[in-house]
């Protein structure tokens, strides 16, 4: 979707799972778009260059706190000065209903890794790394909890 929205952009996708990359490659080929796919974790983002935008989608709720910290730090390191860091993920679950819905995700991905996100870890860590107050620019309540989008400028 990123490449379709910005067809002239150079897009590099990273994922540690070869099967997931194969699926992504097939989807890109079917859509007629060119994306460079690399093997790596979020913590490896800065190893692939400097970018105007660095985007993560639904990754950080699945990983341990140390990986969340390393991945977010690497995203900031991969962003050029004036670049934007965009994170879409399950973050703080503010209402009782969304906390209950998020239990579906926790049953699949484990409470140990997911609970920090539900408690506001992403917001706090993005604020710490970015040095600014962080709130979701957009949120969507889903049958499995609230998904939030955060966008920060690297100054």
Domain range annotation of the chain:
11-40, 51-153
pLDDT above 90: residue 2: no
Cα distances from 60 to residues 42, 121, 140, in angstroms, run 9, 10, 17
Residue range 32-81, pLDDT digits in tens: 999 999 999 999 999 999 999 999 999 999 999 999 999 999 999 999 99
- Give me the pLDDT at residue 86, please: 96
Q: Which CATH superfamily is domain 51-153 in?
A: Vaccinia Virus protein VP39 (3.40.50.150)
Whether the model clears a pTM of 0.75, i.e. scores above it, the answer is yes
Average pLDDT over all residues of the chain: 95
Q: How far is CA 7 from the centre of its chain?
A: 21
Nearest to 152 by CA among 14, 54, 47, 78: 54
With left for phi above 0 and alpha for psi between -120 and 50, is residue 145 left, alpha or beta?
left
């Amino acid at each position: 979707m990123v490449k379709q929205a910005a067809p002239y952009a150079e897009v590099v996708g990273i994922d540690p799972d070869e099967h997931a990359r194969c699926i992504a490659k097939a989807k890109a080929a079917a859509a007629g778009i060119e994306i460079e796919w690399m093997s790596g974790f979020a913590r490896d983002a800065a190893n692939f260059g400097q970018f105007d935008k660095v985007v993560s989608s639904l990754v950080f709720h699945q990983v341990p706190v140390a990986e969340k910290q390393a991945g977010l730090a690497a995203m900031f390191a991969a962003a050029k000065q004036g670049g934007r860091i965009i994170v879409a993920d399950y973050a703080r679950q503010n209402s009782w209903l969304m906390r209950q819905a998020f239990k579906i995700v926790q049953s699949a991905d484990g409470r140990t890794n997911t609970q920090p996100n539900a408690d506001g870890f992403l917001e706090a860590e993005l604020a710490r790394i970015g040095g600014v107050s962080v709130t979701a620019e957009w949120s969507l309540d889903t049958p499995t909890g609230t998904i939030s989008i955060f966008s920060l400028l690297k100054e």
